[in-house]
Amino acid sequence: MAAGRIALKHWLLLGVILLLSLYSGRASAADWPTFGHDPQRSGSTEEAVLSPENVSGLELEWATQVDNVPLALNSLTAPLVASKVVTSQGTRTVVYVAGSSDTFFALDAQDGKVLWSRTFDAAVLPADESFFLCPNAINATPTIDRDHAIVYTIARDGKLYGLDLGSGVTKFGPFQFIPAFAKAWSLNFYEGVIYTSTSQACGGDRSGIYSMDVTDAMHPIIHELVIRQGFGGGMWGRGGVVIGKNHRLYASTGDGNFDPTVHDYGSSFLAATMPDLRLVDYYTPLNWKDINKHDLDLPSGGLVAFSYGQHDLVAGGGKEAVVYLLRADSLGDKDHQAALDITTPLANDAKELEKKGMWGAPAVWKENKSGQTWLYVTVWGPLSKDAPPFPVTNGEVPHGCLMAFNVVENAKTGQPILRPAWISPDFNLPDPPIVANGVLFALATGENPQQTHVQGLHHFNSVQEWKKNLLTTDERAAGTSPAVLYALDAKTGKLLYQSGNAMKTWVHFSGLAIDDGRVYAVDHSSRIYCFGLKGGQN
């Protein structure tokens, strides 16, 4: 009997150890494992430390300069955060960023010290010099698999690495995922498969969607979906591809010919199967020719997938500053051109291809108390004369703003529509917002969005002539100001906090992360910033 009791205690102890080890590998509700927090890119989290009542007490806790050289406009990717990570320094909450010069960094969230870093070795060199569209640099925000304690990232040479969260040791790959020096967008991870999209034909890449099954480290399975016969139609949404609750993958495409009979799907919203990437649905705006003519790429404003009641939805838009609300299961109905709702133009009356319109990525917040669903979008430049009336405004917005909509039911049709709610104070070019516990956070990037000395592609007879007219990185940097972190009331847009001069330089195409009462950001000079409540209230 004694031997039996000892054996029972032994197995119980093993069971407890196993459960603890499994728990330590799983993400907590407050972790930030991917761009926009989740595969749907909702930008919202169950984080509950920060609130509208205490967020004014934020202050800069630390800022860490890492050894990374910016290339063109690229510097550090948007940060990710994982808690309860076992490292050589003990169990830590860790912040992860990938650097443009092919180095990956893991920092202690408590004090910003670098716990480990990895520099990737490439056996190839880029054929062309770096410029803002093709920086020859890491561009895709990494993604985390907590079940296996791995963070996945794409190096400059297009190879996918799976690194141990605690040590940086390679646990998967490297395997060639996309062409070397192709421009990939934020990685997404779902059920053992990594997804990304590419654009701008960098490195000779044809714009497409890529997937890699990483469940077997010795036998990765790769799929690719090319959406045009030639080049163009790039899928350059900040958050990369979006994964719906209905197990479909969504992307929007840039300028390019639209002709489904020859498999050309420019200026459209696409749905594909997972993980084999078969195109199963699309929505193309009726004015797609006008979108192409003025270079008003749909992907610039990003996409988000979410549910409202019994409806699975997708929302997004681009430089034309129009928000499209689509059915996830039937994007454009039978004729592929019928949206649930389309807003009037919010900005960019001049139809400029830079500096104005929707840029970034949307966010969605479901308010627990009321059950209300909120959609937030980023707008650059002043409001359109045709913008819908918003019940709440917070002053003039000459540079840009965030706009909030309530998702409501159309009284006549019973279908979801967008109802304008509020407009934020002025932002010097807002980056994608994120939401936590009734507080909406976003950066004013301070960047210079002017791309060319002369506005409009119609002024140029060739790509080479256009490239000669591009502003250099130094010229764009000369027109910048330091980024500023803002916190707004998610229900009214009222300003609750702004970080002043805490950040030192501007930032281009980035994002934020939140974990356990701390907000993380990066800037172009390769600094990572951590903002927390005064007095260590986190």
Which residues face 517 on adjacent strands?
none
> What pLDDT, on a 0 to 100 scale, did the predictor assign at position 250?
98
Structure tokens at 225: 């979906």
Phi-psi region of 457 (alpha: psi -120 to 50; beta: other; left: phi over 0): alpha
**Dihedral angle over CA of 139, 140, 141, 144, nearest 10:** -150
> What pLDDT, on a 0 to 100 scale, did the predictor assign at position 537?
63
Nearest to 297 by CA among 264, 281, 276, 321: 321
> What pLDDT, on a 0 to 100 scale, did the predictor assign at position 19?
40
Asked whether the whole model's pTM tops 0.85, one would answer yes
H or E segment at 418?
strand 416-423
Rounded Cα distance, 519 and 435, in Å: 11
Rounded Cα distance, 430 and 452, in Å: 21
Q: SS in 3 state form for 436-468? A: ECCEEEEEECCCCCCCECCCCHHHCCCHHHHHH
In order along its 538 residues, the chain shows pLDDT tens digits of: 444 444 444 444 434 333 433 444 444 556 999 999 999 999 999 999 999 999 999 999 999 999 999 999 999 999 999 999 999 999 999 999 999 999 999 999 999 999 999 999 988 878 787 878 888 899 999 999 999 999 999 999 999 999 999 999 999 999 999 999 999 999 999 999 999 999 988 988 988 999 999 999 999 999 999 988 766 668 999 999 999 999 999 999 999 889 999 999 999 999 999 999 999 999 999 999 999 999 999 999 999 999 999 999 999 999 999 999 999 999 999 999 999 999 999 999 999 988 899 999 999 999 988 889 999 999 999 999 999 999 999 999 999 999 999 999 999 999 999 999 999 999 999 999 999 999 999 999 999 998 877 766 555 666 677 677 788 888 888 889 999 999 999 999 999 999 999 999 999 999 999 999 999 999 999 999 999 998 766 6
Q: One-letter amino acid identity for 177?
A: F
**Dihedral angle over CA of 262, 265, 266, 272, nearest 10:** -150
> What pLDDT, on a 0 to 100 scale, did the predictor assign at position 2?
46
Rounded Cα distance, 68 and 96, in Å: 14
List Cβ neighbours of 437 (8 Å cut-off, separation of 6 or more). Answer: 47, 48, 49, 50, 51, 52
Nearest to 302 by CA among 247, 379, 367: 379
